Amino acid sequence: MLNDKVVLVTGGTGSFGRKFVEIALKEGHPRKLIVFSRDELKQFEMAQVLSPSDYPNLRYFIGDVRDRERLYRALAGVDVVIHAAALKQVPACEYNPLEAVKTNILGAAHLIDAAIDRGVSRVVALSTDKAANPINLYGATKLCSDKLFVAANAYGAHQTRFAVVRYGNVVGSRGSVIPLFMKMRERGVVTITDPRMTRFWITIEQGVRFVLKALTRMDGGEIFVPKIPSMNIMDVAAAVAPGCRTEAIGIRPGEKLHEIMVPADEALNSVEHGDHYVIQPAHPFWDRDKYLASSGGKPCAPGFCYSSDANDVWLSADEIRELAGIQ
């Protein structure tokens, strides 16, 4: 999908964006690859590793998804957009709610308008498990964003197709639990919220490759959900800080005990494939029968729920250590 295409990644200097750019440059052949982000320092640091002098098709573009006009300028001639820009830290979004709304919701709306008007072919937006039955503002803004991208496929006759990818916690990403635990182990005590807590887990590279797969499979309107393993927070603590004492401090505001990626309420719209689920859009433009006949998937049973505590695949402490590259 990327060969000879002009590709733009919003939030391109984040954990996902950097890995996406790295894989796209080394394994694909985009005619131009644009890193769109608002942080000049991160762009400078990224350019020291992935330099336009080494990759003549690479561009760095300062801009913010809140800035509608800047998006219009950036999307001139673009074929494919991967939308990874977001405010993602739960406590920060709770404390700065309007900022989360501006970036995660209004930024999505600006991108949709610019992509349609500029004739972009395909847009894949990154979501989060926290958008399923959200209880915090981050999840609520991402649910709203997902709804905007799905509904954008119904906006009259235009060539732009939109889809969403939803997955769980990313191993070792900025702000994730592993870097935090690694700092805590130096003092011999690791604080956890609740020993029963479970989470879905995926590596950054797995996330990038799943997005690329969704990009090739999308018709427009789907929410793609990968089948990924779960982990228990106590196993993470054992993997990162063996021998350290753990101290339960209670669940933080806006935090769930378990994560959900396909809620039971969406089971009737969901289809299971070999390595992923697809939540179909509940819009008149979508033909469920046609999709089932052509996709090879099977409908999920009524009441089905894909949650981290009821998963079939679990990571052990040793597997967590190996995935995270912990010595």
What is the 8-class DSSP label of residue 149? H
The CA distance from 178 to 172, in Å, is 6
Alpha-carbon gap, residue 317 to 225, rounded angstroms = 24
Q: Is the dihedral of CA 169, 173, 174, 177 positive or negative?
A: positive
Catalytic residue flag (residue 130):
yes
How many angstroms separate the CA atoms of 36 and 6, rounded? 13
Measure the CA–CA gap between 133 and 281, rounded to whole angstroms.
Answer: 17
Q: Which of 130, 147, 183, 227 is catalytic?
A: 130
Tokens of 174: 């900025």
Q: Tell me how far CA of residue 93 lies from CA of 97, 103, 111, in angstroms.
A: 5, 10, 21
Q: What is the CA radius of gyration of the chain?
A: 20
Which residues are catalytically annotated? 130
